[in-house]
A and B are shown apart, each in its own frame.
Chain A
Amino acid sequence: MSSKAKFSLLCWGALMPLMVVILFPYATMLSTALKRKDEIFQFEISWLPDGLYLGNFVELFVNRGFGQAIFNSIYISVGATLVSLLVALPAAYALSRLKLPGKSTFRTYLLITQMISPIVLIVGLFRLFAYLGMINDLNALVFAHSAFYMAFAVWMLQSYFDTIPKDLEEAAWMDGASRFASFRRVFLPLCLPGIAVTSLFTFVNSWNEYAMALTILRDGSLQTAPVRIAFLTGTLYETEWNIIMAATLIATLPVAIVFASIQSYLIRGLSLGGVK
């Protein structure tokens, strides 16, 4: 065996424990979600289910209203991503390209806001949305999430924008493009990797957010996927692991789909932008 192959084997061997930690929950999730209830509590545990049983998913969507929870989560996550991008893009552009007084102070301020955990602000936020009559309103979560993740989006986009040579925009101006036209036709296409990475982080953060969703959305039909999953664990006298695992499996799908669809941008983006 060549020394390169040996080194490769050694690396894979060292990575194995991590791989197990990452893959084990998914394997458990998949295995349990495809089993009948009585199959789970058998004395002899088998990883492979007896058959491909999809009844847990049917139960979840038909009787437990999980489809509505997924819709709510998608609405909030996509909405929060769009709103934060809508504000963060021009803000990051301005910070990256324009001469502004107090620019570095503002950047430090943005960083400091990320040090405050949202959980300490929950009571205040609840009172705010109650005052605005937005308790039990999905849009309240859209605004709350976009506000919380916006600072990170601005920070990350600005770091990426700084890597785009200024010459390109200046060349566009010399070609007769207005500031907006050069932003749209030259700058924005070059920033897609950075935008993709930022969108992904915002989407995933919003998708996984629990405390605010639990506090502001009181009505069961407005619950998001993570809240609904938590409710599945403690609502009955027994814990239905088959249903819970089916729910968690479905809850990971949108994130996986988003990841897969922007993967090619992501690789470029992570290498160029030096994310986080």
Chain B
Amino acid sequence: MSSIEIRNVTKSYGALQVLHGIDLNIVDEEFVVLVGPSGCGKSTLLRMIAGLEEISGGDVLIDGDRINDVSPQKRDLAMVFQSYALYPHMTVAENMGFSLSLSGAKKPQIQKEVGEAAKILHLEDYLERLPKNLSGGQRQRVAMGRAIVRDPKAFLFDEPLSNLDAKLRTHMRAEIRQLHQTLNATSVYVTHDQIEAMTLADRIVVMNAGRIEQVGSPIELFDTPMTKFVAGFIGAPTMNFFDGCVQADVDANPYITLGADNSHVPLPEGMKNHVGQQVSIGIRPQHILAEPAAPESGMITGSVSLVEQTGCETNLLLSAAGQQVTVQTKERMNVATGDWVNLSLKADCLHIFDQGTGRRLN
């Protein structure tokens, strides 16, 4: 397996620039997930690593060798496509052994390698079937099998689970992670699903509008998002944001008031330097405490507009501080639509961002 280095890579289609100077190092045996909304450039970047898209500027290196001008055939990378891209006229065994047959391997060796890959992926009983006679999950496995049957320098995954139903996606997610633990293969995985990113990745690269917003471990991104975009993108349900101005009380302690009810939310000490600055306060739905109560002055009060019981959690959709707020709690709350609740924000769980730049301040 190998390392992949991306140095100041750009991509333009005519006058339209879709990637703006991407820098990224992927170390040997690492599982890196590129995540971001549709159109952020993550698939384009993956295809540039694969050699399926031309590189407009910058360099891509594999094991220190510049491969900008190397054709996809010679990069020795394996790719799993979103559409699986199985050859419809070939059986499962022929699909999986195609790369080996191209490299001139003998039939017994192809059979052996395909057999081993089929065993790992539980495909032994389907080797003589055509792709059209397989279920979505089986097709996905064949696509994986085609990648692992040879020993490539790295695996590239382009949203491989997006065509599966929710249950199968969860199952295949676990299989991919287990496969990575078995093979220890350097992998680059593209998805727009942040749950997939959180569960699979050693490191996540969050992309937005052709730029890298933040690179870090799943927990780093969840706990300390460096931009408002990352904070809103990572985590489900999504983070709540409140806009306001940092103020100081008589003791010079920073605080912020939210909404029309002038609720007083104390801010960390470090925010003393930002008094007078317009900020966005972010807080995850899990970090808001909700208690059924009558509206009270000085508190953030919300009226319940929707209650979702998932069994493990209760999700409340509220109208509070002049906007919609989501609260998630492990407790079984006995509230109904129209009830009032008092909200308190856990002070150590606040994420404070500059309203203009979206950069983290605390």
A residues in contact (CB < 8 Å) with B: 165, 167-168, 170-178, 181, 185-186, 189-190
Q: Whole-angstrom distance between the alpha carbons of A189 and B83 in the complex?
A: 19
- Given pairs A171-B79, A174-B77, 11 additional interface contacts (CB within 8 A): A167-B85, A168-B85, A168-B88, A170-B81, A171-B85, A172-B87, A174-B50, A175-B146, A176-B99, A176-B103, A177-B98
Question: Is B52 in contact with chain A by the CB < 8 A criterion?
Answer: yes
Q: In the complex the two chains form, what is the Cα distance from A167 to B88 in whole Å?
A: 12
Within 8 A of A (CB), among B43-89: 50-52, 71-73, 77-79, 81-83, 85-89
Interface size on B, residues (CB 8 A): 22
Chain A contacts for B89, CB-based, 8 A: 189-190
B327 to chain A, nearest CB (A): 43
Where the two chains meet, the residues of B that have a C-beta atom closer than 8 Å to any C-beta of A are 50-52, 71-73, 77-79, 81-83, 85-89, 98-99, 102-103, 146
What is the bound-complex CA distance between A165 and B131, given in angstroms? Answer: 15
Nearest-neighbour CB distance to chain B for A269, whole angstroms, equals 15
A181:B102 contact, CB within 8 angstroms: yes
Contact sample, A vs B, 20 pairs, CB 8 Å cutoff: A165-B85, A168-B87, A168-B88, A170-B79, A170-B85, A171-B81, A171-B86, A171-B87, A172-B87, A173-B51, A173-B71, A174-B72, A174-B73, A174-B79, A176-B103, A177-B98, A177-B102, A185-B98, A189-B89, A190-B88
Residue among A172, A175, A185 facing the most chain B CB atoms (10 A cut-off): A175
The B interface is mostly helix, strand or loop, or mixed, namely loop
Please give the distance in Å from A204's CB to the nearest CB on chain B.
27
Cα distance A152–B88 in the bound complex, in angstroms: 28
* A residues near B83, Cβ cutoff 8 Å: 165, 167
Whether B73 lies near A177 (C-beta < 8 A) is yes
In the bound complex, residues from chain B placing their C-beta under 8 Å from that of A185 are 98
- Verify B87–A170 contact, CB threshold 8 A: no
Q: Nearest Cβ in chain B — how far from A163, in angstroms?
A: 12
User: Which of chain A's residues has its CB closest to B74's CB?
Assistant: A176
Give Cα distance in the complex from A23 to B87, angstroms: 42
Asked if A170 and B72 make an inter-chain contact with CB atoms under 8 angstroms apart, the answer reads yes
Question: What residues of B have a CB within 8 angstroms of the CB of A167 in the complex?
Answer: 81-83, 85
Interface pair B102/A186, CB less than 8 Å apart: no
Q: Are A175 and B50 in contact (CB under 8 A)?
A: no
Judge whether B98 and A175 touch: CB under 8 Å.
yes
Q: Report the Cα distance A175→B105, complex, angstroms.
A: 13
CA distance A256 to B40 in the complex (A): 55
In the assembled complex, how far is the CB of residue A186 from the closest CB belonging to chain B, in whole angstroms? 6
B contact residues around A186 at 8 Å (CB) = 87
Q: Which residues of A contact B82 (CB under 8 A)?
A: 167
Which chain B residues border A168 with CB–CB below 8 Å?
A: 85, 87-88
Q: How far is the CB of B94 from chain A (nearest CB, A)?
A: 10
Rounded to whole Å, the gap between the CB of B130 and the closest CB of chain A is: 12
Asked whether, in the complex, the Cβ of B85 is within 8 Å of the Cβ of A173, the reply is no
CB neighbours of A174 from chain B (8 A): 50, 52, 72-73, 77-79
Chain B residues within 8 Å of A165, by CB: 83, 85
Shortest Cβ gap from A124 to chain B (Å): 43
Q: Max chain A CB contacts within 10 Å: which of B85, B102, B103? A: B85
CB neighbours of B103 from chain A (8 A)? 176
CA distance A167 to B82 in the complex (A): 9
- Beta-carbon nearest neighbor of B83 in chain A: A167
Closest Cβ neighbor of B52 among chain A residues = A170
Minimum distance in angstroms from A177 CB to a CB of chain B: 5
In angstroms, Cα B99 to Cα A177, docked, is 8
CA gap between A76 and B297 in the complex, in Å: 96
- How far apart are A273's CB and chain B's nearest CB, in angstroms? 16
Contacts of B71 in A (CB 8 A): 173
A174 CA / B72 CA spacing, docked (Å)? 6
Q: Could you tell me the distance between the alpha carbons of A177 and B104 in the complex, rounded to whole angstroms?
A: 11
Closest Cβ neighbor of B87 among chain A residues: A186
Residues of A within 8 A of B102 (CB): 175-177, 181
Known: A168-B87, A181-B102, A190-B89. A176 touches B73 (CB 8 A): yes
Among B50, B73, B81, B103, the most chain A Cβ lie within 10 Å of the Cβ of B73
Least Cβ–Cβ distance between B347 and chain A, in angstroms: 50
Point out which of A171, A177, A185 has the most chain B C-beta atoms below 10 A from its C-beta: A171
Chain B residues lying within 8 Å of A170, measured Cβ to Cβ, are 50, 52, 72, 79, 81, 85
Q: Once bound together, how far apart are the Cα atoms of A174 and B50, in whole Å?
A: 8
Bound CA–CA A175/B150 (angstroms): 9
Shortest Cβ distance from A177 into B: residue = B102
Contacts of B87 in A (CB 8 A): 168, 171-172, 186
Distance between A172 CB and nearest chain B CB, rounded to angstroms: 7
Q: How far is the CA of A190 from the CA of B88 in the complex (A)?
A: 8
B88 closest partner in A (C-beta): A190
Shortest Cβ distance from residue B133 to the other chain A in the assembled complex, whole angstroms: 17
A90: min CB distance to chain B, Å:
19
Of the candidates B72, B88, B146, the one whose C-beta lies within 8 Å of that of A173 is B72
In the bound complex, CA of A176 to CA of B151 (Å): 12
Chain B positions within 8 Å of A189 at CB level: 89
A175–B99 CB distance below 8 A: yes
Chain B residues within an 8 Å CB radius of A175: 98-99, 102, 146
A165 to B103: give the CA distance in the assembly, Å.
24
Please report the C-alpha to C-alpha distance between residue A165 and residue B52 in the assembled complex, in whole angstroms: 14
Q: Name the CB-closest residue of B to A164.
A: B88
| Complex: chain A residue closest to B89, CB-CB | A189
What 5 A-B pairs come out closest when comparing CB atoms? Answer: A171-B85, A175-B99, A167-B85, A174-B79, A173-B72
Closest to B81 in A: A167
User: What's the least CB distance linking A171 to chain B, in Å?
Assistant: 4
Kindly report which residue of chain A lies nearest to residue B146, judged by CB atoms: A175
Contacts of A171 in B (CB 8 A): 79, 81, 85-87, 146
CA distance A190 to B99 in the complex (A): 18
